[in-house]
Amino acid sequence: MTENKKTPARPTLKAVRGTRDLLPDQTPLWNHVEATARALFARYGFGEIRTPIFETTELFARGVGEETDIVSKEMFTWEDGERFSEKKLIEAWRSANADQVHFQGEEVKLPGMKGAGVDLIVYRKATNTLEFVEFKSKATLEAMHQLVANIELARSSDPVNYGRGKVIPRLVVPAGRARISSSSQLTPGGVIEEIAGDFFETTQSVTLRPESTAGVVRAYIEHKLGETGQLQKLYYIGPQFRRERPQRGRYRQFWQIGAEVIGPQSSGSESPLRDAEILEMLASFLDELGIRDWRLELNSVGSSEDRVRYNAALREALQPIKHQLCEDNQRRADTNPLRVLDSKDEADQDLINALPKIADYLGPESKAHFDQVLAALDACNVPYHLNPRLVRGLDYYTRTTFEFTVTTGLGTQNALLGGGRYDGLSEMLGGPKAPGIGFAIGEDRLILTLQAQAEADAATSGAPIASTRLDAYIAPLTPTQNPAALALARELRTAGFSVEVGDGTFKLRKSFDIADTLARHIILLGEDEVATNILTVKTFATGEQIKLPRTELAKHLSS
Ligand code: AMP
């Protein structure tokens, strides 16, 4: 008798809260949105840029601002340790061998070595030990440093299998990196010493990008794109990460489609035309996608000088009413008064609406710039609403700021996209003066809006939401026809048709049922069909079933 032992059920694993899987019934819409963006942006002269998904934490601290919610509490940050430290090694080595190792000038000598130096150091990950391998050669401290650096490279192809005195096949020392004289060829002698210890140090803090503007401007500086003298028009599509409280339209991993226009002043990057062009492009994008009820909210936050004056006025106006505001706004009133204007706290709204308006503090240049943006938008018939409270509480934001909202589908998270001018950002990141303007569209929210619109339309028209079907489903009638079915599928797919293949073990009824959910046609493939090349094809939309020669199949599927 066998005992029926039940293995305990393992807990199922789920996607992390705030992250989502996009399944094949959803991705076509995502791809459509992205393809529309790519095609449209290309018509405006934008090129795609792909920057890393993680960057140094400092980039965001400087480029987004330490005071922002994003940087102060929403970033996914970790220490990128695991970096081999030569310094630590040398120190450990020196102290472990203080009485025996003699440093003669830069040359390192170990006990028992007649004029031979240490050439090779192997890190053993499993035991976290370093082993010194003797070579019949002399090595200077410099050569040893270089070798350590090389071993660091080799370590990336862990594990390094190393036995006492044996050759180390995995240890690749690339020529050119280790500039060691020919007398120092790598001929292992044997282990002479082991030092245990932690020779790794944490070298930098890195962060999953919470937005992409900082990364794009970093790349602009790093690759000296400004030196071309030309205006850079760059767009990106990709995931962003913020540790926010998840809710509909707000995720911890979400997608943004964004663009930046940046360049030296001489390239015209400061021109109000650029601002208007970006806004007009966004209006065209939303129109082209069929977003119906978008609303453009627009404001100018002025130059940094204007903002100094405005900030002072705000601070002054906030002092006497501060105690009546919510806790967050009380803090902001001191740290970054502009951000009080961003507040959604219901109870504070009347007080905030009565605060001084930035429009009254714009200098003549900022005002003229903004007026030209508005004039260009009027000329293009792009409707907008001036919103004096639309400020971005970041130091580098200047002049034009904007947001597009929608009323369908998003509930409280109704901001579809946001952006603005950031004339000082490049300099804040240590780059040259490079005025710029950009935006980031929340792609998740765009999709939610499109889905909500489609559902509303289906509800009013009674039409089901269109689903895409494959061109054909091939049903082999027995397993013998499986190979022929795959060969026919290959032929049709090569000719550009979308095809699924069933299995000969399926009952005919099942093949029809699957085919009817997947495809427009079913092609039956039995012994006769394979022998005669006369195929049976049924078209689901009409219910028509015909026999036709294989050579006419493509024409029939296209009709
Ligand atoms: P921001 O980079 O904060 O200006 O955001 C630009 C756009 O990205 C917003 O208007 C939203 O549409 C979208 N967005 C921001 N945060 C999230 C999030 N956590 N989940 C989904 N979309 C977001």
194 band by pLDDT with thresholds 50, 70 and 90: very low
- Distance CA(112)–CA(330), nearest Å, equals 71
User: For atom 13 of ligand 1, which residue has the closest CA?
Assistant: 442
Cα of 283 vs centre of ligand 1, distance in Å, is: 18
Both tokens of 508, joined, read 């005919």
- Check residue 124 and give its pLDDT: 39
Q: State the closest ligand 1 atom to the C-alpha of 249, by its place in the atom list counted from 1.
A: 21
Cα of 241 vs centre of ligand 1, distance in Å, is: 10
Question: Bigger pLDDT: 323 or 38?
Answer: 38
Pocket of ligand 1 (CB under 6 A): 211, 242, 244, 249-251, 254, 256, 415-418, 440, 442, 444-445
> Which is it for strands 499-501 and 545-549: parallel, antiparallel or unpaired?
unpaired
Q: State the closest ligand 1 atom to the C-alpha of 416, by its place in the atom list counted from 1.
A: 12
Q: State the closest ligand 1 atom to the C-alpha of 440, by its place in the atom list counted from 1.
A: 6
168 band by pLDDT with thresholds 50, 70 and 90: very low
Stretch among 51-55, 113-117, 456-460 having the lowest mean pLDDT:
113-117
223 band by pLDDT with thresholds 50, 70 and 90: very high
Helix (H) / strand (E) containing 457: helix 443-461
- pTM for this prediction: 0.75
- Distance CA(551)–CA(257), nearest Å, equals 45
Radius of gyration of the chain (CA): 33
Instruction: Note the maximum CA span of the chain.
Output: 95
- Check residue 134 and give its pLDDT: 37
User: For atom 10 of ligand 1, which residue has the closest CA?
Assistant: 417
Stretch among 106-110, 222-226, 264-268 having the lowest mean pLDDT:
106-110
User: For atom 4 of ligand 1, which residue has the closest CA?
Assistant: 418
Per-residue pLDDT tens digits for 410-441: 777 788 999 999 988 999 999 999 999 999 99
Q: For 312-325, what is the mean pLDDT?
A: 92
Q: State the closest ligand 1 atom to the C-alpha of 417, by its place in the atom list counted from 1.
A: 10
Cα of 442 vs centre of ligand 1, distance in Å, is: 5
Cα of 467 vs centre of ligand 1, distance in Å, is: 29
Cα of 51 vs centre of ligand 1, distance in Å, is: 18
Q: For 105-118, what is the mean pLDDT?
A: 36
Q: By C-alpha distance, which of 270, 236, 302 is closest to 439? A: 236
Per-residue pLDDT tens digits for 129-161: 444 443 333 444 455 445 444 443 333 333 333
- Check residue 464 and give its pLDDT: 55
- Check residue 177 and give its pLDDT: 27
Cα of 35 vs centre of ligand 1, distance in Å, is: 20
- Distance CA(529)–CA(508), nearest Å, equals 15
Cα of 236 vs centre of ligand 1, distance in Å, is: 15
